[in-house]
Amino acid sequence: DTEVTQTPKHLVMGMTNKKSLKCEQHMGHRAMYWYKQKAKKPPELMFVYSYEKLSINESVPSRFSPECPNSSLLNLHLHALQPEDSALYLCASSPSARQGFYGYTFGSGTRLTVV
Amino acid sequence: AQTVTQSQPEMSVQEAETVTLSCTYDTSESDYYLFWYKQPPSRQMILVIRQEAYKQQNATENRFSVNFQKAAKSFSLKISDSQLGDAAMYFCAYRSTGNQFYFGTGTSLTVIP
């Protein structure tokens, strides 16, 4: 299995809703990432998990809450989002967060719309 | 922080022709890695090609090759025999040991039949 699987592919939520995005990989990668991408813009790093521990939080608002229950699974819990949070949310993984040689394997993303 | 610049927001190429996408970066590090990623409308970021900075030989992957000029901090991508499936957003990215990716702003490539 050489894929990163993200669910759901599309999500529409109200500003008072609570929802979660899910990301799964079975490549044995020990680093996992959440990125936010606006249309025609590069991905922006949100969080980095290395060996299931949060190692980087790029000053993301607390309405985004990441969770890494095990080495294969990464969640992003969403609560009280704003319309400007509407974006494509990409998950990625790599064998290691510390070795620059490795590129990332990306998922296909979740298209989130906040209404 | 490192910066990655892609000066061509949009490019177009005739099918079967060759196109070159430019990328420059700024860094004070000597050991790093450079990548080109492709993002088609399907949204998934796909690794196209990778270059290790300590290697002088330019990387090649089938129809894709790079021109890596370390002193000039330039890393361009050449696509030969362009195909309709090459149409996508292309991102240049920089990564050093123990660090995250820095992405360029992207170049949108259109392939004209």
pLDDT tens per residue, range A37-79? 999 899 999 999 999 999 888 889 999 999 999 999 999 999 9
Look at B97 and A88 and tell me if their CB atoms are within 8 Å: no
Residue length, chain A?
115
A111 touches chain B (CB under 8 A): yes
pLDDT tens per residue, range B15-74? 999 999 999 999 888 889 999 999 998 788 999 999 999 988 999 999 999 999 999 999
pLDDT-wise least confident of A57-61, B79-83, B102-106: A57-61
* Overall average pLDDT of the A22-27 stretch: 96
Considering only residues A98 and A74, tell me which one the structure prediction assigns the higher pLDDT. Answer: A74
Q: What is the pLDDT of residue A64?
A: 97
Contact call for residues B22 and B91 (beta carbons, < 8 A): no
**Res. A29: pLDDT tops 90:** yes
How many other β-carbons are positioned within 10 Å of the β-carbon of residue B85?
A: 9
B25 touches chain A (CB under 8 A): no
Look at B43 and A108 and tell me if their CB atoms are within 8 Å: yes
> For residue B51, what is the nearest residue in chain A, using CA coordinates?
A101
The pLDDT confidence band at residue B84, using thresholds 50, 70 and 90, is very high
List CB contacts (< 8 A) between B95 and chain A: 100, 103
**Residue carrying structure tokens 């990409």:** A90
Q: Do the bridges between strand B60-61 and strand B19-21 make them parallel or antiparallel, or are there none, so unpaired?
A: unpaired
Q: What is the pLDDT of residue B33?
A: 92
Q: What is the pLDDT of residue B41?
A: 86
For chain A, where are the E strands, in sequence order?
4-7, 10-13, 18-25, 31-37, 44-50, 53-57, 64-70, 73-79, 87-94, 105-106, 110-114
If contacts are CB pairs under 8 Å, which of residues 47-76 in chain A contact chain B? 48, 56
Rounded distance, CA B85 to CA A54, Å?
37
Q: What is the DSSP letter of A11?
A: E
Q: What is the pLDDT of residue B29?
A: 86
Contact call for residues B110 and B87 (beta carbons, < 8 A): yes
* Overall average pLDDT of the B2-16 stretch: 95
Contact call for residues B104 and B26 (beta carbons, < 8 A): no
The pLDDT confidence band at residue A103, using thresholds 50, 70 and 90, is confident
> For residue B106, what is the nearest residue in chain A, using CA coordinates?
A42
Contact call for residues A107 and A21 (beta carbons, < 8 A): no
> How far apart are the CA of A27 and the nearest CA of chain B, in angstroms?
16
A83 touches chain B (CB under 8 A): no
Rounded distance, CA B22 to CA B74, Å?
8
Rounded distance, CA A7 to CA A67, Å?
15
Rounded distance, CA B53 to CA B66, Å?
12
**Res. B1: pLDDT tops 70:** no
Q: What is the pLDDT of residue B99?
A: 66
